[in-house]
Structure 1
């Protein structure tokens, strides 16, 4: 595990630091340009967590959690929640560590490696949640990951994956929805209402603290990686969850060509 909390402590030591709140807001605005209903999917996921824990503070794993977006919302909703953010991106983990400080655990691990579970400080999670991340993995790795996630859940625990999952019965409409969303997004970029994905990363690279981490990120994630998204329909995910041994699996939420699928251990 890497001590990303050092980013928050830097002002006391005289080292470089970041404004975690400003970077979180910047990340949220950039992501919302892609997903205007982003908060709705998070709310649906956390509603499911509340339902399966009976209202007690959950032990939650924020898988491929980036800046800790889900963890921060879980902490705001559930007083006393125990959150762990797992990711490999040094830029996003630095922001997560500065935001969470002593309120959560940061784990640096590669989900492409089946050994990622060995880096967790604990298992027996009430919930494992992930959003808009697993589409970078190939089909066979996602299927294996679903089995691995099941093993870190307590009996009765819930796994939720929010991602690009088109409805296979609406192929023509799905294309039209994507084209419409792209036009709206491009208009927002043109007026400066939102920062595009490449422009956000340029800002991070120019930041005194995040710049070196952006260089490290380029070594971890070659640019070609972002040309290989894999986005099967939600039905594929549901079937794969069932095959992985979850007692229940289905679609929790849908918004256009995105969906949240869940599995119960």
Structure 2
């Protein structure tokens, strides 16, 4: 039998391919997230946090293989499974459904910035014909997504009144013109989802983007986003997406205030409001631990003026 160190080295080589260019890896992250959603969907109904029937197709075989290999590696190394993407997906689902329920029965909008391969247009229970839904991302993401969805039978049914994809680079302010041209209505209350986006942008751009969202939003609109409160100096795995993180947000209240938003809530991944009974840890997570530790947090805010 091989020594444990050799087994670990072989496993590391298997799970750590040559590191791709930054743009390719960040784009591939949408497939990795879809793979995580596919694995969650494969669980028995009483256990799964959501059902995403298109996740496996959108992920593709390479991302699925990598996601399954990581799960196997955790079992071999006796690491407790912590379904980060599944919890994040459910948290943002719940936020969107709750906000749309509050806005009903009037007209409203739901906008996903850096929508990637998410499929909320086809599965959120609070969508209705009174909701206009927009997905914003780069064209190469939509080229893959729309091509794959077009081949699905029966055709996926959009639960919103409309679904519009907007080709835009969120690193540039020009995205607001593009979403306006696509039919976005600045007079309607809007639910904004910025899931898995902001840590890939420079800190200055993060504040600018949140300000741009505020400027085109009607009073009463709300936003939810995920951020990290600190950046690690280095990571052992060369292909981890955290190597591409460019910013952290240790003080969401200050950033949101500067951008015009009123902070509503900060929930730490694994905390009381963001674990769904699936975060296997013996750690005690205090309400303000995110201020002093490097954590992933989910932040929500409202435009009140």
Normalised to the residue count of structure 1, the TM-score between the two structures is 0.59
Q: Work out which of the two has the higher radius of gyration on C-alpha atoms and give 1 or 2.
A: 2
Q: When the two structures are aligned, how many residues end up with a matched partner?
A: 194
SS at match of 2:213: helix
SS at match of 1:78: coil
SS at match of 2:214: helix
Aligned residue in 2 for 1:63? 113
1:104 maps to 2:163:
yes
Q: Give the Å deviation of 1:128.
A: 1.2
Whose strand proportion is higher, 1 or 2? Answer: 1
SS at match of 1:77: coil
Whose helix proportion is higher, 1 or 2? Answer: 1
5+ residue gaps, structure 1: 1-18, 187-196, 199-224
SS at match of 1:111: coil
Normalised to the residue count of structure 2, the TM-score between the two structures is 0.52
Cα deviation code 1:73-119 (max 9, x no counterpart): 43x43222311100015135531575468741011101111111110
Aligned residue in 2 for 1:86? 136
Supply the RMSD in Å over aligned alpha carbons: 3.8
Match of 2:224 among 160, 170, 177: 160
SS at match of 1:113: coil
Match of 2:145 among 95, 118, 135: 95
1:150-189 equivalences in 2 (<5 Å): 150-163=214-227, 165-166=228-229
| Higher normalized contact order (CA 8 Å, seq sep 6+, divided by chain length) | 1
Q: Give the Å deviation of 1:139.
A: 0.2
Distance of 2:217 and 2:242 partners within structure 1:
30
Say if 1:109 and 1:116, in contact at 8 Å, map to a contact too: yes
1:133 maps to 2:203:
no
Distance of 2:127 and 2:190 partners within structure 1:
13
Say if 2:54 and 2:119, in contact at 8 Å, map to a contact too: no
Distance of 2:300 and 2:122 partners within structure 1:
21
